[in-house]
Amino acid sequence: MHQQALTLNPHVPTFSYGTRVSHPLFIHNPRLRIPLLKTSCVVKGSHVKVGCRSNGVEVNVKDNKCCVFSNGFVGEKVVDVATLGNLCVDVVLSVPKLPPLGFDDRKEYMEQLAKTPPDKKYWEAGGNCNMAIAAARLGLRCNVIGHIGNEIYGKFLLDVLRDEGINVIGMREEDDTINTLSRSEYETLLCWVLVDPLQRHGFCSRADFSKEPAFAWMKTLSDEVKSNIQKSKVLFCNGYGFDELPAGLISCALEYAVEVNTSIFFDPGPKGKSLAVGTPDEQDALAKLLRFSDVLLLTSEEAESITGLRNPIAAGKELLSKGVRTKWVIIKMGSKGSVLITRSSISCAPSFKVNVMDTVGCGDSFVAAIAYGYIHNMPLVHTLTIANAVGAATATGCGAGRNVARLQEVVRLIKESNLNEDDNFWNKLLEESSNKEDIKILSKTTVNGTKNRFFNLVNLQKVVGEVLHKLEASLADGVLSS
């Protein structure tokens, strides 16, 4: 155990900012090229046209009945956050060495692991359960939408989620399709999380060894699923959802969320690279998610691979300029902190220094806190501050699932206010930004609103006081999981 600034992403930019790299995904893959809003992709009246052309390159979004969005829905949003897919059980094991890289050897390795179910003490809720648990512990009302099997792992996962006060909305076909499936196709997805003596992590699941998603049999959204998307303020999707659900089904969920005015959060994660060169349906779904999400969350490395821009802020602006509904782009920059970019402002927050035990689940917890700030309409720097604190508090535990941050730990960390400031880093990062932009950065400076050459300094203690008032009210209301 050691004290360091939390690293949500091992890629920390140390290069010369502003340089465009030579291999952005959207330049090499015309199907995924995001159009500028000034092209024929227009929001007009109550409908959004999806088929677009930019600089002579067509953005292929398949024609289907879901592709025209009616944005006139007004209804009661009684659920704060719903997650889509990626419900799995993590089996966390210490191993002498990480699994082999070769496909056949790796598959054989996993099959050997799966022969005997490991002791229940090694099981943990994983995937989008991490985000939902972290959000519930912040006091948000949460549903998870996805498939959980009826075997021992599925029953375990249901118990964990219900203990955290999270509702489970099952996805399944309404016909007799299930009767023709093998047992394994309907079982809860397991992810083996393997930790070697150097605390390095390796991951494998049955989804790694199939060209089809784990639940390829799932073809339609049930009325219950649609109803829950409609009732939710935020629908969260991540790249790992494609391991479980067919890309076409994810597209339909996205399109329905737009139709009923549910905000969409999307974090492509490491899967973004493979989806960008995946099947036509995967590329189509990825393009829609990048264009029609309200909030995009990426690491600096992921943002660079999509846009070709090494400067995280420039990459965020690029994604904003080519989005249809995009309001926020959030770039996670590892131990340096995070940035939230809108069309008119840039908000920055350095990370907190903590005793790091395990970084698994930190990114999921971070997303939960961003949703908290978004739903409560908090100032942007305040939102980043809470998100950095929740991610850092999760890193002080071991593993994800029930080990993600509890609200008391987040409050304690914010009170300590051990900020990892690096003026040189932020000056270099922001030096290319326009003087016309509203740029704010969280700082230990004693005078709120102090302006240096590049940005306005937001006083840490002022933010801490306002954030703690909000979080401690949640504690007093008894929303914290026991």
DSSP for 238-307? EGGGGGTS-HHHHHHHHHHHHHTT-EEEEE-TTHHHHHHTS-HHHHHHHHHHHHH-SEEEEEHHHHHHHH
pLDDT of residue 345: 95
Bigger pLDDT: 199 vs 353: 353
- Residue 54 covered by a domain: no
* Percent of the chain whose predicted confidence (pLDDT) is above 70: 79
- pLDDT value at residue 474: 77
Give the per-residue pLDDT at 74: 55
* Residue 178 pLDDT: 53
* Residue 388 is assigned to a structural domain of this protein: yes
Quickly tell me which residue has 């009246």 as its tokens: 45
Q: Count of domains in the chain? A: 1
- Give the integer Cα–Cα distance in Å for 102 and 209: 11
DSSP 55-97: TTEEE-----TTSS----------EEEEEES-EEEEEEEE-SS
Cβ atoms 333, 9 nearer than 8 A: yes
Residue 93 is predicted with a pLDDT of 86
Between 156 and 106, where is the model more confident?
Answer: 156
Share of the chain above pLDDT 90, in %: 51
Domain membership flag for residue 127: yes
The reply to whether 165 falls in a domain is yes
Domain carrying residue 208: 2-13+73-476
**Across 254-282, average pLDDT:** 95
The reported pTM is 0.83
**Closest by Cα among 317, 366, 389 to 346:** 317
Extract the tokens encoding 178: 């299930």
Q: Does a structural domain hold residue 130?
A: yes
Q: What is the mean pLDDT of the chain?
A: 81
In a domain, 365, yes or no: yes
Contacts of 421 (CB under 8 A, 6+ apart): 350, 443, 444
116 within domain boundaries = yes
How would residue 55 be classed by pLDDT, with cut points 50, 70 and 90?
Answer: very low
What is the pLDDT, as a whole number, of residue 25? 54
Q: Is the pLDDT of residue 472 over 80?
A: yes
> Domain holding 406: CATH number?
3.40.1190.20
Who wins on pLDDT, 469 or 115? 469
State the number of CA atoms in the 13 A half-sphere of 37 facing the CB.
15
Q: Does an H or E element contain 202, and which?
A: strand 201-205
The mean pLDDT value for 45-60 works out to 32
Q: Is residue 21 part of a domain?
A: no
